[in-house]
């Protein structure tokens, strides 16, 4: 296993993070994602520890709290010292029927973190993340609440998931001005079949030295090797029942076809190549992998040993390249003459 700094901190986390959305499976959308019981959770967590993973991600909303309970109990059952793992969870989502049982308000977050600590059987969460955008709560209120959690020792670092780049920039600007704890990480969807965050989020993360934690690196199973242009709905696949995250399928088939010969030449799965591509991206801190079976986890763990060649990376980049959009294509021209006179429109006129 390899390790990397968590954002602009001194904390080291494994390049693969184990996501526990499959634990519990308590109805709703989660019945499509996984129903790993406690014995299965213990087995998977043990394999993670043995494989060098020290980073675990969950959320209060996963199976209505059952994921957090199962993960906390697995650490207890296996005798894993708390200091040996970096534990991440999230708050925001609706956890009850009350009007204030959801959101990023001070009121809800203070209740949510206490409930998560209890379910996880711990006195602190290493990385506490806001799980979604709250359109009502002022960002200042959210940041003050998170800073108080850090001051109280209930939370060590804070992060955010599924926010627009401008909102993250505003939040960290407030943190700097007020001397609050700042967001150190962004948890976002990213895959070789879905590179949208490269437009706005990646430049922000590079500028502010934010760590990127990737969720759904296999695009909800689309890049697992089961799907292809000629087999778009394989039976028994989660993606066939739950078509998420949104992906440009035509581009995805091109990407899968570009990965197939690379996987064959290396004698490994397409999934492993998809994960290796993400691990080759400088902006990526850790890739969150989930599993229902030990064999899935073992295959994912092997991705850290795959180093793609320049030719392979070029082939994959060409197949997965985003279509050009404004202002990106304009920014490519602007600034090109800062080091001396250049014909900015060379090759663009007839």
pLDDT digits (tens, 9 = 90+) for 154-170: 999 999 999 999 999 99
Is the Cβ–Cβ distance between 72 and 120 less than 8 Å? yes
Residue 78 pLDDT > 90: yes
Residue 29 pLDDT > 80: no
Comparing 155 with 226, which gets the higher pLDDT?
155
Nearest CA to 64 among 30, 100, 89, 111? 30
Q: What is the pLDDT of residue 80?
A: 98
Question: What is the average pLDDT across 51-69?
Answer: 96
- The pairing of strands 284-289 and 125-130 is unpaired
Query: Residue 331 — pLDDT band, cuts 50, 70, 90?
Result: confident
Nearest CA to 52 among 104, 8, 1, 120? 1
- Catalytic choice (3, 30, 62, 190): 62
Residue 139 pLDDT > 90: yes
Question: What is the average pLDDT across 41-48?
Answer: 98
Is the Cβ–Cβ distance between 150 and 113 less than 8 Å? no
62 is catalytic: yes
Question: What is the average pLDDT across 43-48?
Answer: 98
Comparing 61 with 235, which gets the higher pLDDT?
61
Residue 350 pLDDT > 80: no
Cα(306)–Cα(316) distance, rounded to whole angstroms? 15
Comparing 92 with 29, which gets the higher pLDDT?
92
Q: How many CB atoms are closer than 10 A to CB 350?
A: 3
């Amino acid at each position: 296993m390899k390790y990397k700094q968590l954002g602009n901190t001194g904390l080291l986390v494994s390049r693969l993070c184990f996501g526990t959305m499959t634990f519990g499976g308590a109805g709703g959308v989660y019945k499509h994602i996984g129903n790993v019981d406690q014995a299965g959770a213990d087995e998977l967590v043990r394999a993670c520890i043995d494989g060098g993973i020290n980073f675990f991600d969950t959320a209060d909303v996963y199976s209505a709290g059952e994921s957090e309970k199962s993960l906390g109990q697995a650490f207890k059952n296996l005798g894993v010292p708390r200091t040996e793992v970096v534990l991440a969870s999230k708050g925001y989502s609706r956890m009850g029927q009350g009007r204030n049982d959801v959101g990023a308000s001070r009121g809800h977050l203070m209740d949510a973190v206490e409930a998560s600590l209890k379910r996880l059987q711990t006195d602190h969460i290493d990385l506490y993340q806001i799980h979604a955008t709250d359109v009502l709560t002022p960002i200042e209120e959210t940041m003050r609440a998170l800073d108080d959690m850090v001051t109280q020792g209930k939370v060590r670092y804070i992060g955010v998931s599924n926010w627009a780049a401008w909102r993250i920039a505003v939040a960290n600007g407030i943190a700097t001005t007020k001397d609050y704890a700042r967001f150190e990480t962004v948890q976002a969807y990213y895959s070789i079949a879905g590179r949208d965050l490269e437009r706005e989020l990646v430049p922000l993360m590079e500028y502010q030295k934010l760590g990127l934690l990737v969720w759904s690196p296999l695009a909800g199973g689309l890049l697992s090797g089961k799907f292809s242009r000629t087999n778009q709905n394989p039976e028994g696949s989660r993606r066939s029942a739950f078509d998420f995250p949104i992906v440009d399928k035509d581009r995805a088939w091109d990407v899968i076809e570009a990965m197939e010969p690379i996987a064959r030449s290396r004698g490994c799965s397409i999934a492993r190549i998809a994960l290796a591509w993400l691990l080759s991206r400088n902006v990526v801190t850790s890739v969150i992998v989930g599993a229902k079976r030990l064999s899935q986890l073992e295959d994912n763990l092997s991705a850290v040993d795959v180093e793609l060649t320049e030719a392979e990376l070029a082939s994959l980049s060409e197949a997965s390249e985003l279509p050009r959009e404004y202002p990106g294509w304009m920014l490519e021209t602007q600034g090109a003459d800062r080091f001396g006179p250049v014909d900015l429109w060379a090759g663009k006129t007839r």
